[in-house]
Amino acid sequence: MLESTLEHHPEIIKGRAVVADDWSVLRLAEGEAASDAVVPDGKVIVPLTVWQAQRAALAGRAQLGVWIASDERPEVLKGELDQFAVVAVDFPKFTDGRGYSIAYNLRMRLGYTGELRAIGDVLRDQLFQMQRTGFDAYATRQDRNIHDALKGLTDFSEVYQASVDQKSPLFRRHERDVRDETSDVGFGI
């Protein structure tokens, strides 16, 4: 019999602090049907497929989260996002960046305002960009120092591009000196 597993991180980064985590992430066993998964009591973040297969049974739970795989579309949760205390996006490996787009779409297109958590292969080098695309909680890899990873949120003091965290690009936020036509360098560029 195939059995799903519960992952638990004793601590996560939430906002800009390391805090205790009381949520568990349900992961299906390979080949396990979403409709057969047993969702335990307590604060559980279930796969999107489990939510879709067991919506009627899970809809009344107050402490429920959902996680979205990198190959799934967040738009399928349109109109249902307010039912979840946490929405997580899974990063199956460091080099898979599809989760950034999922987070951006959840925040900007679907208007999700609750906790948006990065789970999976989450490393310090990713945190700054994850924050820019809308994440506000991070379950970093357990084999790495979470306090070191926290520093990744402040690696850069300024950003050039617009994103979830900064609606205007730098050139719109920066006041420039106006030079007259008699200046020789860069006028009119």
Q: Is residue 66 part of a domain?
A: yes
- 38 part of a folded domain: yes
Please state the domain count of the chain: 1
Q: What is the pTM of this model?
A: 0.84
pLDDT attached to residue 184: 54
Find out whether 110 and 119 touch, Cβ atoms under 8 Å. Answer: no
State the Cα–Cα distance between residues 15 and 63, nearest whole angstrom: 20
109 within some domain: yes
Residue 41 lies inside a defined structural domain of this protein: yes
Q: Which residues contact 95 (CB under 8 A, 6 or more apart)?
A: none
The answer to whether residue 189 sits within a structural domain is no
3-class secondary-structure state, position 65: strand
- pLDDT single digits (tens) 90-134: 999 988 899 999 999 999 999 999 999 999 999 999 999 999 999
pLDDT, greater one: 155 or 188? 155
169 inside domain = no
Whether the pLDDT of residue 19 is over 60: the answer is yes
Determine, yes or no, domain membership for 172: no
Q: Which domain holds residue 41?
A: 5-157
- How confident is residue 158, by pLDDT bands cut at 50, 70 and 90? confident
92: domain CATH number is 3.40.50
pLDDT band at 36 (very low <50, low <70, confident <90, very high): very high
